Amino acid sequence: MARPSAQINLSKEEQRELELILRSKKVESRMKERARIIMLWHEGKSYDQTTAICNIHREAIAKWRKRFHSLGLEGLQDAPRSGAPKTIKESQKNKVIQLACSKPKGGYSNWSQQRIGKQTGMSQSKVHKILKEHDLKPHKINYWCGKSTDPEFESKMLNIVGLYMNPPENAVVLCVDEKTQIQALDRTQPELPLRMGNPKRLTTTYKRNGVVNLIASLAVHQGEVIGRTMESNSAENFLSFIKKLSGIYPKKELHIIADNLAVHKHQSVKQWIEKNKRVHLHHTPTYSSWLNQVEIWFNILSKDVLKGAVWHSKKQLADQLIEYIRTYNKERAKPFKWTYLPN
């Protein structure tokens, strides 16, 4: 093959491709070096000049000039390596799969690719390849809702879903629950606000200013939330909140949905409910508090208010919770679209 000339004339398309390689932040440095060699050749730079600019040997310059002269832009790619591709033995695959699907020893609860590799004498990249090939993800955990042990699950579930889908006339359906032990955490240093290139930053060290308990009701078919903070979660506070709801809806039949917490089934609560025929208390089945729609709202509250927040006192936290409820009712309150379908 003819020796490459002292200068090469690139087409506009080739120049554009090489310039893109040089400007890209994702291209490997070795590819940029090869593109620079060709661009300097196009500019008429000699071997010595290119060596001084790129700090590489003449042999490398000659190699990539020759490859480009012969193959064009494709010549700048790495050539296929010689030899047979490396293979992973079936016994190695079986060992990795066996470990990944078993409980590790030594106090660990889960396997990592690095520890599987150490145990089998393989590189982490090989372990990753085997696990990917067999769609195994030992680092990942999915949670599922276990079957309720409540013998009356179906009747209770149908009763609650029936209230959601087809409520009685002149009735209000309310979902009630408590979010307890909300910590009023302060930080030992002032927070650093969000700036371009940096998220909001908080010190990992904190101080506790006590806890706040919140009890809240969600009006299923209107979307409004009523809430109250309290010092402790007790049957007395729960009953007081139920009485408050009864006063807010004086001429309505109330159907209140709550979980199986002991304070919700306290004798004082039962006695008051028996005397007030306008108020009906419905308990979700065992292990089925997910049927209570106020849990959805508590999740929204956690994302909007509790995540990454700083409070200097319990009062500040309590005031913010009540302020958020007012804002939510004013700007966002609407019924949730109930999509649960029993199997």
The C-alpha atoms of residue 185 and residue 211 are separated, in whole angstroms, by 9
Strand-pairing partners, residue 288, are none
Single pTM value for the model: 0.64
CB-based contacts of 246: which residues, under 8 Å, 6+ apart? Answer: 254, 276, 278, 279
Beta strand 279-283 with 253-258: parallel, antiparallel or unpaired? parallel
CA distance 99 to 120: 9
> Which residues, other chains included, contact 279 with Cβ-Cβ below 8 Å and sequence gap of 6+?
242, 246, 253, 254, 256, 273
Supply the pLDDT for residue 262: 94
Per run of 10 residues, the mean pLDDT along the chain (length 343 residues) is 66 88 86 90 89 90 90 83 72 91 90 91 91 89 78 92 93 97 86 79 83 96 96 95 96 95 95 95 92 95 90 94 96 86 56
Task: State residue 249's pLDDT score.
Answer: 95
Maximum pairwise Cα distance, the chain: 105
According to DSSP, the β-strands at 171-187 and 279-283 are: unpaired
- Check if the beta carbon of residue 209 is closer than 8 Å to that of residue 313: yes
Helix (H) or strand (E) holding 127: helix 124-133
**How high is the pLDDT of residue 1?**
47
pLDDT at 84: 61
Pairing type for strands 206-219 and 171-187 reads: antiparallel
pLDDT at position 300, please?
Answer: 95
Q: Right CATH number for 153-331 from 3.40.50.11540, 3.30.420.10, 3.40.50.920, 3.65.10.10?
A: 3.30.420.10
**Residues 284, 291 contacting (CB under 8 angstroms):** yes
